Structure 1
Amino acid sequence: MSAGFLFSIVIAYFILLLAVAWKTSKNSNNESFFIGNRNSNWMLVAFGMIGTSLSGVTFVSVPGAVGRDGFGYMQVVLGYMIGYLLIAYVLLPLYYRLKLTSIYGYLKTRMGMLSYKTGAWFFIISRLVGATARLYLVVHILQITILDSFGIPFWVSTLIILVMIILYTFEGGVKTIVWTDTLQTSCMLLGLIICTIYLLNHMNMGVGESLEAMRSSGLSKIFKTDPSRSDFFVKQILAGAFITLSMTGIDQEMMQKSISVTNLKDSKKNMVSLAFIMVVVIGLFLYLGGLLHLFAAQEHLTSKGDALFPDVAVNHMPPYISIIFIVALISALFPSADGAMTALTSSFCIDIAGLQRRTDMNETQKKRFRQKVHLLVALSFLLLVLMFYWINDNSMIGIILKLAGYTYGPLLGLFAFGIFTKRRPDDRWVPVVCFIAPIICFFIDYYTNEKGLFGDFKIGLELIIINGALTFIGLLTISKPVSDLSQLEQDSVH
């Protein structure tokens, strides 16, 4: 199939997104952009958050990693489910009670202004790095499969895609993204199901027969039982729970959609539904990964890792499957990038610039300020995607989860300290604690995994727990008891 035809499919899909954006952004304002006027439908939010949570990394990297890790990623996913339930019954009630627009506003009242700014900056760094790593993977695949044939440089391809995203998020923000994410999640899941059915039919296998073939090939093993390994199941499940608490529960991008739902009861439904849906959906991605590796062995393909699924879909499947794959791939791309850009814009405007509190600007000036910030966020995306292009790693899922351990750990420690203690830290020292904890983690990780400080024992994704614990301990050392926490929360509301 010609690259020109595939490119026309991408353009047609983008025009559809623009139409949705035009329809949903009518009469939008800053409130629409930041939290969708708090009237989002919980079912749409839950369904759309599947696409945001998965992204192009899950679509390509999780199936590709089955050849190396089997179904071991399901250990982390079981932890995800625990994390989603904790968010629903611990964090969401807190956010709704305080009527937060930015969830980091909780830190300001609970700990102080510097704690608030520190939390916001750690979110900005965390989401910026994670979202651009995801964006890089999908742009890189589109570059190889379509855009190289036109002689378009990688940086131009990235710029074009970012301009596309700006065009449909510039006005509506969250109000638009709730609907575009629903569309994109539908396309992504449809692509997953169709590719799975095609592979089963092509290899003339039933589900039971394919699972037996995967078991015989060592592709379907889930639980790893060696405590010294980084993929030991207890470590992975715990890490999955804390990763979800961090990358969803205390992440402004994910939570601004949840708190845009009309009331707490419906927002809880959104999160609990997501917990169970994610187990099923990622299970399907792992199953697809097993089928891809069986297909590769049958056809004697050499592709592996992130390159396997694109190679099979574009070069070894019928043209209509290639079209479905490209549509599903870009459907996986946009939710992870558009929501991140909107959330980063929101966090900078609200948390760093204090836009909602500014009395020296009218609504029109505030809107122009927000739009300028949105453009600067897009520029930051461009620069970081180019950085990942130069790094060019074989499996981005590992990089993203590793980076999350360093950048989300301090946020985890800050929120855990605020929720589970009755102490208030010295606000002046909070930034120091939050920056020292990841540095200590770097040396722990280096000397344990690279230098073999503890023999065969390795640290894996539980690094985020260590980082959060170090932050929590540091906050304890610089804190003193508070007599009335409820009054602090009441002050934040008023």
Structure 2
Amino acid sequence: MVGTGGPVATFSVWDYVVFAVTIVGAAGVGLFQAIRGRKESSSDEFLLGGRQMTAVPVAMSLTASFMSGITVIGTPAEAYQFGAAFWLFGISYTIMSTITAEIFVPLFYRLGITSAYEYLELRFSRPIRLIGTSMYIIQTALYTGLVIYAPALALNQITGLDLWGVLVATGLVCILYCSLGGLKAVIWTDVLQMGIMLAGFVAVIARGAVIRGGLGQIWEDAGQGGRLKAFDFDPDPLKRHTFWSIVIGGSIMWVAIYSINQSQVQRYISCKTLGHAKMSLYVNMVGLWVTVSLAVFSGLTMYSIYKNCDPLSNGDVSASDQLLPYLVMDILEDYPGIPGLFVAAAYSGTLSTVSSSINALVAVTVEDFIFPVWKNLTPRQISWLNMGLSVFFGGVCIGMAGVASLMGRVLQAALSIFGMISGPLLGLYLLGMLFRTPNSTGGLLGMVIGLVLTLWVGIGGQVYPPTADKTNPLPLSTEGCNNTMSSNYTTTTPWTTSASLTTQSSFRPDIADSWYSLSYVYLSLLGMLVTIVCGLLISAITGGCKQKKMNPDLFVKKSDLICFSFINKSETTDDKEKSSTDHHMGVHISADLDIKNLEREKSTKL
């Protein structure tokens, strides 16, 4: 009986058919784009879609890129155990979209860059650019490994799908359409996969509403179980999720993910106008609202069904990330093909993120490491190079899946990776964009100090996870289970892994309950602030920026801060900015950018 514990069914033939059709469909989109654009083999076409993309598909791709399989599986489990506080990230998405669209997009767009880290060389120096690129490659490889491994493990243990078989299949499909179709294939495949992810959530919610007697009953159960108390205004930075940590820390974390992460930057600079680029982020914001709302409500649906029989406490699953797959097999086993749709949804998230990562890794490697050294490559050589790097990075991402098995709770681990590395990088960008005095020495040392601190806190928090009084898990019961491990009881399920619990019980230093317990959401904010403050101080000590003539295009302009830029006015806006630039000093750097753009156009024509 649903909601009373015990083993659940495994995949039927129709479930395998639905899952397989989704994977083949994703590969088919890549092949279609490869055939369609076979005559357009330039690097600009492969990496940026010829800079002719429009707002809506790019927006859906932006949403799908980071709404990964981890989100599909991890967010409902988060709401089930900790309540609907994760819904507050909708406010963070709004702040992030506005900052990215009005500050970062205009700057990157007018510079005509391909790699987001080109800016670091233009503003600071080439060594800093290479360091930023290297940090991104390491971060992305780790994150992508986690994206591949975690959903595969959860689904393997619930559905019986072969773990490494699915891992390799995921990587091969992504390699196929990334290497053949480039960014266009990635974006249009993301559009398909976004729809499948949302359909998976809707299927879970709809079936849960039928079982529980309506959406109103699910909401009532969530309220009685304390799952709707989302607004905690406690300013304690050690508490895992509060209103302040999510709105302030979460906004900075998502700004770091969207504004300077190559996977995202590469999408909005592929738009054909600045207006389309800005609009893609605002449409993406709505997509994020819808996705997080469906994911959280799926978690509340799960709680309504299992409020009297927690599968984790009852021993039916071994980790919280298996809760949603368990629910799907429990409530949808009588509907052949629907569990397969959910698995397809989880893997659509995985495919979209992995393909985005591979394409972005190829872009930064080509632009930051290869083109500056080998400048006379032919279009055919560049095409083979792009495809070869896609295969290489696909293999690296599959290999990193093994490392990801050591990362613990997937949703928090994934966001912590971005916080530890992207926070200091964001601080470096803001240091260069908002202030004219910081020099290369101040920027580099400030970022290193920020990175050391965030790695110290982040890794310490992984080794010695915060205690329950900081994470605040909500009570779960097994009194309604058919078969329990012992007598009926109510428990607060720990969010840590068994390995981390062992570490806690054997030795726990005093610093673990203070410094290491800092909310993971604040890691980006910490890294950003430390980088900016230290960068300004060190630059002042070392004489500041001695280069008097600086290109004004490298800094945020007042014209960038207009809240909306209509698509049909974007060309006029660009002309005005160009005219304004001509009257400023620093024309020599602008000329360098013009030469670079001219060379790119010639390469495209070839």
Give the deviation of 1:325 after TM superposition.
0.9
In the alignment, is the contact (CA less than 8 A) between 1:42 and 1:270 conserved in 2?
yes
> Please, what is the CA RMSD of the aligned residues?
2.4
Matched, 1:334 2:393: no
Matched, 1:288 2:298: yes
CA distance in 1, matches of 2:446, 2:12: 51
Deviations 1:85-125 (A, max 9, x none): 10000000001111111121111111111111122112112
2:363 is matched by which residue type in structure 1?
S
2:275 corresponds in structure 1 to: 265
**1:381-400 alignment runs, 5 A limit:** 381-389=397-405, 391=406, 393=408, 395-400=409-414
Give the deviation of 1:433 after TM superposition.
4.2
The more displaced of 73-82 and 417-426 is 73-82
Give the deviation of 1:280 after TM superposition.
3.1
Matched, 1:211 2:219: yes
In the alignment, is the contact (CA less than 8 A) between 1:60 and 1:309 conserved in 2?
yes
In the alignment, is the contact (CA less than 8 A) between 1:76 and 1:239 conserved in 2?
no
1:312 corresponds in structure 2 to: 327
Corresponding residue to 2:186 among 160, 177, 182 = 177
Are residues 453 and 298 of structure 1, via their aligned partners in 2, closer, same or farther at CA, if it must alter by over 3 Å? Answer: closer
In the alignment, is the contact (CA less than 8 A) between 2:11 and 2:340 conserved in 1?
no
**1:76-475 alignment runs, 5 A limit:** 76-146=89-159, 148=161, 152=162, 154-205=163-214, 207-228=215-236, 229-298=239-308, 301-302=311-312, 303=317, 305-317=320-332, 318=334, 319-354=336-371, 358-389=374-405, 391=406, 393=408, 395-426=409-440, 430-444=443-457, 446=460, 451-452=509-510, 458-460=517-519, 461-475=521-535
In the alignment, is the contact (CA less than 8 A) between 1:114 and 1:431 conserved in 2?
no
2:402 is matched by which residue type in structure 1?
L
In the alignment, is the contact (CA less than 8 A) between 1:3 and 1:147 conserved in 2?
no
1:483 is matched by which residue type in structure 2?
K
Deviations 1:1-39 (A, max 9, x none): 545543333332222122211221232422222111011
Give the deviation of 1:308 after TM superposition.
0.9
Give the deviation of 1:230 after TM superposition.
3.3
In the alignment, is the contact (CA less than 8 A) between 2:97 and 2:282 conserved in 1?
yes
Q: Which has the higher contact order (CA 8 A, sep 6+)?
A: 1
Deviations 1:298-342 (A, max 9, x none): 566344621111001123323332122122122111111111111
1:273 is matched by which residue type in structure 2?
V
Give the deviation of 1:385 after TM superposition.
0.3
In the alignment, is the contact (CA less than 8 A) between 2:149 and 2:404 conserved in 1?
yes
2:600 corresponds in structure 1 to: none
CA distance in 1, matches of 2:532, 2:121: 17
* Local SS of the residue matching 1:360: coil
In the alignment, is the contact (CA less than 8 A) between 2:33 and 2:185 conserved in 1?
yes
In the alignment, is the contact (CA less than 8 A) between 1:111 and 1:425 conserved in 2?
yes
In the alignment, is the contact (CA less than 8 A) between 1:422 and 1:483 conserved in 2?
no
Give the deviation of 1:249 after TM superposition.
0.8
Are residues 13 and 436 of structure 1, via their aligned partners in 2, closer, same or farther at CA, if it must alter by over 3 Å? Answer: same
Are residues 117 and 312 of structure 1, via their aligned partners in 2, closer, same or farther at CA, if it must alter by over 3 Å? Answer: same
CA distance in 1, matches of 2:398, 2:363: 19
CA distance in 2, matches of 1:264, 1:117: 27
CA distance in 2, matches of 1:77, 1:122: 28
1:189 is matched by which residue type in structure 2?
L
CA distance in 1, matches of 2:423, 2:307: 40
2:340 is matched by which residue type in structure 1?
I
Give the deviation of 1:424 after TM superposition.
4.0
* Local SS of the residue matching 1:72: helix
Question: Which runs of 5 or more structure 1 residues have no equivalent in the other structure?
Answer: none
2:18 is matched by which residue type in structure 1?
I
Are residues 396 and 454 of structure 1, via their aligned partners in 2, closer, same or farther at CA, if it must alter by over 3 Å? Answer: closer
Give the deviation of 1:345 after TM superposition.
1.1
**1:480-491 alignment runs, 5 A limit:** 480-481=544-545, 482-485=547-550, 486=552, 487=586, 490-491=590-591
Give the deviation of 1:186 after TM superposition.
0.7
Are residues 81 and 451 of structure 1, via their aligned partners in 2, closer, same or farther at CA, if it must alter by over 3 Å? Answer: farther
Are residues 320 and 157 of structure 1, via their aligned partners in 2, closer, same or farther at CA, if it must alter by over 3 Å? Answer: closer
In the alignment, is the contact (CA less than 8 A) between 2:446 and 2:533 conserved in 1?
no
Matched pairs, number: 485
Give the deviation of 1:397 after TM superposition.
0.5
CA distance in 1, matches of 2:275, 2:322: 42
Are residues 147 and 194 of structure 1, via their aligned partners in 2, closer, same or farther at CA, if it must alter by over 3 Å? Answer: closer
CA distance in 2, matches of 1:476, 1:492: 27
1:293 is matched by which residue type in structure 2?
Y
* Local SS of the residue matching 2:68: helix
Are residues 179 and 443 of structure 1, via their aligned partners in 2, closer, same or farther at CA, if it must alter by over 3 Å? Answer: closer
TM-score by structure 1 length?
A: 0.91
Identity of aligned residues (%): 19
Are residues 194 and 444 of structure 1, via their aligned partners in 2, closer, same or farther at CA, if it must alter by over 3 Å? Answer: closer
Give the deviation of 1:430 after TM superposition.
4.9
CA distance in 1, matches of 2:383, 2:291: 38
